[in-house]
Structures are given as structure tokens and as C-alpha cells.
Structure 1
């Protein structure tokens, strides 16, 4: 706990040095807010499973979930390996996994004020998105947002460990990002997907990174099972894969000072 507090305080101070950049990062994740207007207008003139207000609430929650679950560890780790900076991390009696995790957690805290301001602005811009959440679904949504962040981090960290063998591990992450964009419910809620595509998407980890927590936070009825088990299964799989790649990668690592 003492190490965790120290890491969080150090990285929070570091992130606060880049307050203007954090605002731009938060603004860069505004795609769901653009889609909010598109789908809300489409729902007014078409036959969709969600009403305009439900579309507005859903995409606003997608914006919040994506702000809480954004991960960039693959680029940091890749640079550490390529530039030999990982050697200095290996001198510490602490797995770099926890260092990167603390940096991401601290960034969430530093980003929070900008996210709140953007949310209030869009509540004013789209009054139909305003609602009073039910306590239990909202708490479940917060819990699954945390789980989604951990799953996303485990997925990207496993990809990042490929930097031991390739200088462009981030290229594979870009492929994952395209799948995440289309299968996670970021572009459209799963209710509007064709039935075969929806069933296929639910077998992948992507809908549980955005759609499940966003739908819960928006107060929509969502079947938690078997989704919870699929989410846990993917989490365990990526964790074990990450541990295996870490042990193999250390034997292969030949950075400066290693």
C-alpha cells in the first residue's frame, strides 16, 4: 500500500504538469458525443430499438467509459524497450506492470475535472441526455467500468510485451483498436447490430470494454450473464499470456545496460 500511494502521488504530480495536454486528450475522445447527435437525429425519423433520449444517454456514457478506460501502455513500453530504458526499471524491486498501472490511474484522476466540464457542457447542449440513474445499475456500471479498464490494460500490456521481439508492437495494437471501434459499441449500440454480428461480437472481449458498462450507466436493461464469465475468461487469458511473454521476453531482452 505504501508503494502504491507513492507511485500514485508521484505520477499524479507528473500528470498535472501537463494540464493543457490532458484537456486535449479528453477532447480527442469526443467521437461518441459526435455520434450522439447523429444517432439521436436518426432515431427521430426512423424505426430503432432505442428512443432519441436513450441514444443520447448511451453515447454520453460511452464518452465517460472511454475516458476512464483509455490505455497507452503499448507505446510507453515499446519506447522503453527500443531505447533501453527498461533496464533502469529492471533495477527496481517492482514489476514495471505496476508502474504503468499507477501512471494510468493517476492520469484518470488528473483528467477527471476536464471530463466533468465536458459532460456538463453536453448535458446543456443535449437536454434529452439528462436523467436520474437508478442506484444499483449505476453502481454496477461503475464496477464494470473499472473491470473494463483492467481488461483493456491487460490486453494492451500483453501486446506491448511483443516489443521484446519487434520494434513495432504498437502496429498490432492499431489492429485491435479498429476491432474495438466497431465491435465495442462505440460506433453504435449492440441493439442495432445484425443478429449474427451481435452474437459474434459478444464472444470477443470488445463489447465488455465499452457497451456493457455504458449501457448499465445509461440505465438500459443488460444481461450480465454470460457476459461476466466471458469478460473474466478473457482477463485471465491475457493475464497469463502477459506473464508468459514477460518471462520469455526478459531472456530475449538485450537493451543497453541489460
Structure 2
């Protein structure tokens, strides 16, 4: 606990030094707010599974979930390996996994005021998105947002392990990001997907990174338990793969003279 508090305090102070950059990062995640206007207008002129108000609430929650689950560890880890900084991290009695995780958590805390301001602006622009969430689904959505962050972090950290062998793990992550963008519910809720595509998407980890927590927070009815088992399956799979690649990667890294 002392290590966790120290890491959070250090990284929070570090993140607060870059407040303007944090605002730009938060603003860069405003794609759901743009899509909200598109889907709301489309719902007014056509027949969709969601009403304009439901679209507005859903994309507001997508915005908040993505702000809470954004991950960049693959870029940091690749730089550490390429520039040799990983050697200094390995001298510390702490797995770099937790070091980077503390930086991400601290960044969430530093980003929070900007997210609140953008949300208030969103409410002013789209009054139909205002609603009072029910405590039960909202708390459940908050829990799944935390789980989605941990799963996304684990997925990207596992991808970062490829840096030991290719030094181009970011390129692999960019492919995953395209799948994430289209299958996670960021561009459109899964209710508007064709049935075969929706069934396929629900077998991947991507909808559970955005769609599931966002739909719960928005108060929509979601079939919960299949999602829990799929998240558990992918979480365990990436955990085992991370540990395997980490051990293989360390041997390869040390053999290069690090």
C-alpha cells in the first residue's frame, strides 16, 4: 500500500505539470460527442432501435467510458525498450506493469476536472441527454468501467511485450485499435449492427471495453452474464499470454547485452 500511495502521488504531481496537454487529450476523445449529433438526427428521421434521447445518453456515456479507459502503455514500453530505459526499471523491486498502471490511474485523476467541464458543455448543447440514472445500473456500469480499463490495459500491455522481438509493437496496436473502434460500440451502439456482425463482435473483447459499461451507465437493458464470462475468458487469456511473453522477452532482452 505504501508503494501504491507513493507511485500515485508522484505520478499525479507529474501529470499536473502538463494540465494544458491533459485538456487536449480529453478533447481528443470527443469523437462520441460528434457521433451523438449524427445518430440523434438520424434517429429523428428514421426507425432505429434507440430513440434520439437514448442515443444522446448512450454516446455521453461512451465519451465518459473512453475517458476512463484510455491506455497508452504500448508507446511508453516500446520507448523504454528501444532507448534502453527498461534496464533501469528492472533494477527496481517492482514490476514495470504496476509502474505504468499507477501512471494511468494518476492521469485519470488529473484529467477528471476537464472531463467534468466537457460533460457540462455537452449537457448544455444536448439537453435531451440529461437524465437521472438509477443507482443500481449506474453502480454496475461504474464497476464494469473499471473492469474495462483493466482489461484494455492488460490487452495493450500484452501487445507491448512484442517490442522485445519486433520493436514495432505500436504497429500491432494500431491494427487492434481499428478493430476496437468499429467493434466496441464507439462509432455505433451494437443495437444497430446487423445480427451476424453483432454476434461476432460479442465474442471478441472489444464490446466489453466500451459498449457494455456505457449501456449500463445509460440505463439500457443489457444481457449481462454472457459479457461477464467473455470478459473473464479474455482477461485470463491475456494475463497468461502477458506472463509468457514477459519471461521470453526478458531472456531475449538480456541476451542482447541489456
Q: Same fold (TM over 0.5)?
A: yes
Q: Distance in 1 between matches of 2:36 and 2:164?
A: 40
Within 5 Å, give how 1:1-258 maps onto structure 2: 1-254=1-254, 258=258
Task: Quote how far apart the aligned CAs of 1:70 are.
Answer: 0.2
Q: Distance in 1 between matches of 2:92 and 2:227?
A: 38
Deviation track 1:87-145 (CA, whole Å, cap 9, x = no partner) reads: 00000000000000000000000000000000000001000000000000000000000
Q: Distance in 2 between matches of 1:257 and 1:139?
A: 49
Task: Quote how far apart the aligned CAs of 1:167 are.
Answer: 1.4
When normalised by structure 1's length, the TM-score is: 0.99
Q: Distance in 2 between matches of 1:257 and 1:80?
A: 15
Q: Distance in 1 between matches of 2:71 and 2:39?
A: 27
Q: Distance in 1 between matches of 2:35 and 2:254?
A: 46
Query: Post-superposition, which runs of at least 4 consecutive aligned residues in structure 1 deviate over 2 A?
Result: 254-258
Say what the alpha-carbon RMSD is for the aligned residues: 1.0
Q: Distance in 2 between matches of 1:65 and 1:176?
A: 18
Deviation track 1:59-88 (CA, whole Å, cap 9, x = no partner) reads: 000000000000000000000000000000
Deviation track 1:189-222 (CA, whole Å, cap 9, x = no partner) reads: 0000000000000000000000000000000000
Q: Is contact 1:77-1:160 (8 Å) kept?
A: yes
Q: Distance in 2 between matches of 1:14 and 1:179?
A: 32
Q: Which runs of 5+ in 2 are unaligned?
A: none
Say if 1:184 and 1:25 are closer, same or farther in 2 by CA, change over 3 A: same
Q: Which runs of 5+ in 1 are unaligned?
A: none
